[in-house]
Each structure stands twice: as C-alpha cells, then as structure tokens.
Amino acid sequence: RGMTIEEGPLARVLNVESYALPPLPNLFFTRDAAMVVGEGVIIGSMRHSVRWTEEILMKALFTYHPDLESAGLIYDGSEERRSGYTIEGGDVHVLRP
C-alpha cells in the first residue's frame, strides 16, 4: 500500500483512496523497467499506467546513483507519451558475436 494523504470533502466523495506516493506492486520485476546493454541503459516504456512510476525511478537511479554510473541512456522510455508502443525487459535481446 502507498502512503495516504488527507482528502478534502470532494475527494472523499470521489475517491475511495488517494496516495501521495502510488503503490508500486510490480517493482519486484525490475528487469522490465530498465535494461543494461553494454555500458548503456534502456529505460522501459511500460504498457500499464500502474508501472509508469517505475520508469522514473529507474531513470533516477541510473542517472544519479554513483555506483550505477553508465555510458548514458540509449533510450528513455519515461519520456514517451504512450504513442501505441512499449518496450519492457522481455522485449530486448542482446546479440553478441
């Protein structure tokens, strides 16, 4: 469950629950949200909105964490505006000679 926030009268009528930080039920499956290819990183573009926060978290980790420094982002799916396609961990296969 996520962290709850105080609701006003309208929100109490319209929403059963509101969160300051939404729950991340699928964060356990980290191979879907980001992929490392060589020294670069691909940030996923997740299909379901419940997983969109994971993209942002992975981008922050690979951009700012000193132990996860990379050659940069090959593709940043968190910047996509859901134009009908996605890319998740199972979609990427690295081929080597």
Q: Is the predicted pLDDT of residue 61 greater than 70, yes or no?
A: yes
Does residue 19 lie within any of the structural domains?
Answer: no
Q: Is residue 71 in a domain?
A: yes
> Pick the residue with more confidence: 70 or 83?
70
Average pLDDT over residues 34-48: 91
Looking at the structure of the chain, the number of domains it has is: 1
pLDDT at 14: 67
**Shortest CA distance to 45 belongs to which of 91, 95, 97?**
91
Q: Which residue has the tokens 């979609």?
A: 91
Is 86 part of any domain?
Answer: yes
Q: What single letter denotes the amino acid at residue 63?
A: T
Partner residues linked to 3 by β-bridges: 21
Q: Which domain holds residue 41?
A: 25-91
Geometric angle at alpha carbon 81, from 79 and 86, rounded to 5°: 85
Please report whether residue 39 resides in a domain: yes
Does 5 fall in a domain? no
Q: Residue 85's pLDDT is what?
A: 84
- Please give the Cα distance from 82 to 51 (Å, whole number): 13
**Domain membership flag for residue 11:** no
Question: Is 96 a member of any domain?
Answer: no
